[in-house]
Amino acid sequence: MNYIPHTDKDIKEMLAAIGVSSVEDLFNDIPVALGPKSFDIAPGRSEFEVTQALKNLAAKNATHLTNFVGAGFYDHFIPAAVDAVVSRPEFYTAYTPYQPECSQGWLQAIYEYQTVICELTGLDVANASLYDGGTALYEAAMMAVRLTGRNKIIMDSGVNLIYRTMLYTYTSNLSVEFMEVPVAHGQSSRQELLKHLDDKTAAVILQNPNFFGAVDDHSDIVKEVHKFGALAIASVYPVSLGMLKSPGEAGFDIATGEGQSLGIPLSFGGPYLGFMSARKELLRQMPGRIVGATVDIDGKRGFVLTLQTREQHIRREKATSNICSNEALCALRAVVFVALLGREGLRELAELNYQKSEFAKDALSRVAGVEVKRSSPTFNEFTVLLPRPADEVVYRMVNKGFACGFPLGRFYKGMENYLLVAVTEKRTVEEIRKLADSLEAVL
Amino acid sequence: MRLIFEKHKEGRRGFSYAKPGVPAARPLDARYRRKDNPHLASLSELDVVRHYTNLSRLNFSVDTNFYPLGSCTMKYNPKFTERIAGLEGFSGVHPLLPQLSGGGMLAQGSLEVLHATERLLAEITGMCAFTMQPLAGAHGELTGAMLIAAYHKDRGARRKYVIIPDSSHGTNPASAAIAGYEVKVIKTSPEGYMDMQEYKKSLDKDTAAVMLTCPDTLGIFNPRIKEIADMAHEAGALMYYDGANLNALLGKARPGDIGFDVVHINLHKTFATPHGGGGPGSGPVGVSDRLVDFLPIPRVTQRTDGTYALDYHRHKTVGYIAPFYGNFGVILKAYAYMLRLGKEGLIEAAEAAVLNANYCRVKLKGHYDLVFDKTCMHECVFSASRQVKNGVHAIDIAKYLIDQGYHPPTVYFPLIVKEALMIEPTETESKETLDSFIGTMIEIARLAEEDPARLKEAPLRMPVKRLDETKAAREPNLRWQP
Do A99 and A220 share a structural domain? yes
Do A407 and A311 share a structural domain? no
Q: What is the DSSP string of B365-389?
A: TTTSEESS-S--SS-EEEETHHHHT
Q: How confident is the model at residue B167 (pLDDT cuts 50, 70, 90)?
A: confident
Identify the pLDDT of residue B190: 87
**Contact status of A22 with chain B (Cβ, < 8 Å):** no
| Structural domain count, chain A | 2
Tens-digit pLDDT profile for residues B35-78: 998 999 999 999 999 999 999 999 999 999 999 999 999 999 99
B255-266 average pLDDT score:
97
Task: Please write down the long-range contacts of A177-182, taking CB distance under 8 Å and 24 or more positions apart.
Answer: A177/A151, A177/A152, A177/A153, A178/A152, A178/A153, A178/A154, A179/A152, A179/A153, A179/A154, A179/A155, A180/A155, A180/A156, A181/A154, A181/A155, A181/A156, A181/A157, A182/A157
* In a domain? residue A5: no
Which residues from chain A sit within 8 angstroms of residue B176, using beta carbons?
317
B195-211 average pLDDT score:
96
Do A367 and A284 share a structural domain? no
Do A427 and A414 share a structural domain? yes
B357-377 average pLDDT score:
96
* In a domain? residue A92: yes
**Contact status of B260 with chain A (Cβ, < 8 Å):** no
Helix B431-450 vs helix A8-18: crossing angle, to nearest 10: 40
3-state SS assignment for residue A372: strand
- Give the count of beta carbons closer than 10 Å to the beta carbon of residue B373: 10
B262-266 average pLDDT score:
97
Taking the C-alpha atoms of residue A259 and residue A137, their distance in angstroms, rounded to an integer, is: 13
pLDDT higher than threshold 70 for residue B84: yes
Do A375 and A300 share a structural domain? no
pLDDT higher than threshold 90 for residue B170: no
Identify the pLDDT of residue A1: 66
Taking the C-alpha atoms of residue B164 and residue B225, their distance in angstroms, rounded to an integer, is: 14
Taking the C-alpha atoms of residue B89 and residue B328, their distance in angstroms, rounded to an integer, is: 13
B347-361 average pLDDT score:
98
Taking the C-alpha atoms of residue A70 and residue A404, their distance in angstroms, rounded to an integer, is: 10
Burial (CB < 10 A; 0-12, 13-18, 19+), residue B16, is exposed
Identify the pLDDT of residue B179: 86
A257-282 average pLDDT score:
98
- Give the count of beta carbons closer than 10 Å to the beta carbon of residue A387: 11
Taking the C-alpha atoms of residue A339 and residue B39, their distance in angstroms, rounded to an integer, is: 11
A287-314 average pLDDT score:
91
Tens-digit pLDDT profile for residues A71-96: 999 999 999 999 999 999 999 999 99
| Residue finishing a domain among A314, A336, A358 | A336
Tens-digit pLDDT profile for residues A151-169: 999 999 999 999 999 999 9
pLDDT higher than threshold 70 for residue A13: yes
Do A72 and A157 share a structural domain? no
Peptide bond connecting B98 to the previous residue in cis, omega within 30 degrees of 0:
no
Answer for the pair B63, B277: CB distance below 8 angstroms, yes or no: no
* In a domain? residue A51: no
Closest by alpha carbon to B480, among B42, B41, B49?
Answer: B41
For testing contact with chain B, the best of A3, A329, A392, A415 (most B CBs within 10 A): A3
Task: Residue count of chain B, please give it.
Answer: 482
Do A423 and A327 share a structural domain? no
Do A322 and A212 share a structural domain? yes
Do A366 and A265 share a structural domain? no
Full domain range(s) for residue A372: 66-77+342-442
Q: Residue A230 has what DSSP assignment?
A: -
Do A346 and A332 share a structural domain? no
For testing contact with chain B, the best of A1, A15, A41 (most B CBs within 10 A): A41
Closest by alpha carbon to A114, among A100, A91, A130?
Answer: A130
ipTM: 0.97
* In a domain? residue A383: yes
Q: Residue A34 has what DSSP assignment?
A: G
What share of chain A in percent tops pLDDT 70?
A: 99
Half-sphere exposure of B459 (CA within 13 A, CB side): 22
Peptide bond connecting B459 to the previous residue in cis, omega within 30 degrees of 0:
yes
Range in A305-319, A404-418, B278-292, B389-403 the model is least confident about? A305-319
Tens-digit pLDDT profile for residues B326-336: 999 999 999 99
CB–CB contact A355 B112 (8 Å): no
| Residue finishing a domain among A336, A364, A394 | A336
Taking the C-alpha atoms of residue B102 and residue B93, their distance in angstroms, rounded to an integer, is: 16
Which residues from chain B sit within 8 angstroms of residue A28, using beta carbons?
375
* In a domain? residue A276: yes
Do A268 and A145 share a structural domain? yes
Taking the C-alpha atoms of residue A53 and residue A147, their distance in angstroms, rounded to an integer, is: 52
Identify the pLDDT of residue A106: 98
Closest by alpha carbon to A192, among A247, A239, A155?
Answer: A155
- Among the partner-chain residues B61, B180, B362, the one whose CB lies closest to the CB of A18 is B362
| Residue finishing a domain among A336, A356, A376 | A336
Do A296 and A182 share a structural domain? yes
pTM of the model: 0.97
For testing contact with chain B, the best of A48, A93, A321 (most B CBs within 10 A): A93
* In a domain? residue A280: yes
Rounded to a whole number of angstroms, the distance between the first and last alpha carbons of chain B is 17
Answer for the pair A403, A68: CB distance below 8 angstroms, yes or no: yes
Identify the pLDDT of residue B102: 67
CATH number at residue A428: 3.90.1150.10
* In a domain? residue A12: no
* In a domain? residue A226: yes
Identify the pLDDT of residue B101: 74
**Contact status of A431 with chain B (Cβ, < 8 Å):** no
CATH number at residue A167: 3.40.640.10
Q: Report the mean per-residue pLDDT for chain B.
A: 96
**Shortest CA distance from A100: residue in chain B:** B467
CATH numbers and ranges of domains, chain B: 82-339 (3.40.640.10), 348-469 (3.90.1150.10)
